[in-house]
Amino acid sequence: MRAASLLLVFAAAKTAALAGHHVPLSWWSPVAYLWQDALAALVFAALEFAVGARRRACWALYGLAALYVAINVPVVRALSTPLTWRMWRAAGGPLADSMRYYVTWSNALLFAFVLAVAALAPRALRRVPRRPLLAALALCAGLGPVAAARVDTLGLERNPWLALVPRPAESGATRSYSTSGFDRTPGEDLSRFRGAFAGRNIVMVSLESTAAQYVAPDVMPNLSRLAQNAIVFDNAYAAYPESVKGLFSVLCSAYPPFDSDAPSYAAAPCRSVAAMLSAAGYRTALFHSGRFIYLGMEAVVRHRGYDALADAGDIGGNHHSSFGVDEPATVARILAWIDALPDGRRFFVTYLPIAGHHPYDSPQPGPFPDREEFDRYRNALHYGDASLGTLIDGLRARGLERKTLWVVYGDHGEAFGQHEGDYGHTFFLYDENVRVPFLIAAPGAIGSEVHCSRVVSLIDSAPTLLDVVGLPAPGDYQGHSMLQPAPRMALFFADYSLRMLGLRDGRWKFIYEVDSGRSRLLDIEHDPRETTDLSPRHAAQARWYAENLRLFGLAAGRKTAGATSLHFE
């Protein structure tokens, strides 16, 4: 019976994928990890019955099912998730270098192992009785949700085929969520900076894959020097741990829609910060070392108020990768654009580097040894920081140092296994994924490093920038100026794999899994590694956070004609 053989293939692939992961020990664990495989085997048995006597079709279905499961083994080992539709859409040409990184002998052997099981299983299991097997599969699948409620599998129970099934949308919210939580700590008084930098040119730099916890003078010396004359926000959070949707939140001061793709954002109503500055007389340009075609970035940046747009295809360069071009080439293009402006014309430049993105390849050696992936990542940040220094020096050489305002932030973080299964940046909401550096530097105007501990979000970037240069922000912005002292929560979410919602409220952080209903309440001040769940101790607070985040997720999922329709009280 091919369904029995396929179940064995699923089990072999699950064993190979889970090797090295922490698996909770419980009587429920086998059911919790295998129930979706049992359900997928039942679905295959039904298809096999429908196909009937057409043996070639049955074997073709079996081979296809086994091949796809084998392909997913190295994916699950690297990213702790099988491929979802959103991941498939992201796996285009710009990711070629990252994908090649995982073409290793160990992954090839695991792939071959699963296919070998698929080839041998039908002969070994040809005498398995049909009815008892189907009954056992149905029992395992039926008990699965019960077992999953008792064992936290972090989504590793998912069968690769079932991971492609669209997830049902929840019903709409009857009331709005809140961005004010339990924190009542008065914020630092930054009102003196309102309009303080009017008339300055503006350079906004979105550092790729740069988590706040990795920024240090030995890694990013130029950014550290720039911070000496800056307002530094120590608790800034990305709205979404991925570059393109995160850029939408920065430019438009709006949360990206939940369970959506960036190409649909072209229809989203947005008076971007670039459009606002253009209307105020600034010349505007955006330069990206990567490619606008990746993940639909064109829908985010085109027709958003930029006079000039240039990506890797326009810039060229001395070093090419699947992601784009070298940072020095992009910086040279930025400076050339500034040189071509009429004398005295104010400008707003947005610079999107790619240095820091996996696979962390740098065209030149860095200060850290290349043996470990984390050190290669730090070398990539150091390489990108050198080009930031070149841009700073270029403006200084043109006499623009004290006429320029800098807004520098990380678009999202990067994880290196600080938590089980958390690698890269897209799938989880721990601080290594979403807490980012954010600074506003004005050489000659801010005499020292001003630290602000209040919680802020990257959706606050546009209203803050407009505030410090003395321009009003549109009333439909969902963010608020970071100069306002009232405490607010930062809200964020991830939906590439598990659907997760999160918030930071003063010292508290809360993470909620939409599909499982699991949640974690964390005290970041006393538990910066985010290891201890305090939900049982603060049950009422955890319930309020969970309900607020559920309403946030529902609101972020409402779209009309491809546009966001997210509102809050």
The C-alpha atoms of residue 114 and residue 8 are separated, in whole angstroms, by: 9
Residues ≥6 apart with Cβ < 8 Å to 495: 86, 258, 259
- Cβ(554)–Cβ(170) under 8 Å? yes
Give CA 276 to chain center in angstroms. 27
Please give the structure tokens belonging to residue 146. Answer: 């019960």
Rounded to an integer, what distance in angstroms lies between the CA atom of residue 138 and that of residue 43? 10
CA distance 341 to 322: 32
Domain range list for the chain: 2-164, 233-564
Give the pLDDT of residue 103: 83
Task: Find out whether 519 and 461 touch, Cβ atoms under 8 Å.
Answer: no
* Per-residue DSSP letter, 154: T
Could you please report the per-residue DSSP string of 97-121? HHHHHT--HHHHHHHHHHHHHHHHH
- Cα angle: 282, vertex 283, 286; to 5 degrees: 120
Tokens standing for 549?
A: 């985040």
Q: If we measure between CA atoms, which residue out of 269, 227, 281 comes closest to residue 470?
A: 281
Give the chain's length. 569
Residue 60 CA neighbour count, 13 Å, CB half: 5
Burial class (CB in 10 A: 0-12, 13-18, 19+), 437: buried
Residue 375 burial by Cβ neighbours in a 10 Å radius (0-12, 13-18, 19+): middle
> pTM of the entire structure?
0.92
Q: What is the CATH number of domain 233-564?
A: 3.40.720.10
Q: How far apart are CA 207 and CA 211, in angstroms?
A: 9
- The first and second tokens of residue 151, run together, are 């064992």
> Minimal CA–CA distance to 207: which of 354, 379, 362?
354
Helix (H) or strand (E) segment spanning residue 332: helix 327-339
Distance of CA 19 to the CA centre of its chain: 25
What is the reported pLDDT for 558?
A: 55
Tokens describing residue 70: 């084998």
Tokens of 263: 């190409």
CA distance linking residue 542 with residue 512, whole number of Å: 10
Residue 171's pLDDT is 55
Residue with the two structure tokens 């990542």: 377
Measuring CA to CA, how many Å separate 102 from each of 99, 105, 306?
Answer: 6, 9, 38
Run means of pLDDT, 10 residues per run, the chain, 569 residues: 86 89 86 92 85 78 91 89 85 72 86 91 80 87 90 90 79 70 87 96 97 96 96 97 94 88 82 97 97 88 95 87 87 97 95 93 90 93 97 97 97 94 91 98 92 96 98 95 93 92 97 93 97 96 95 68 37
Integer angstrom CA distances of residue 22 from 17, 29, 433, 435: 11, 12, 20, 25
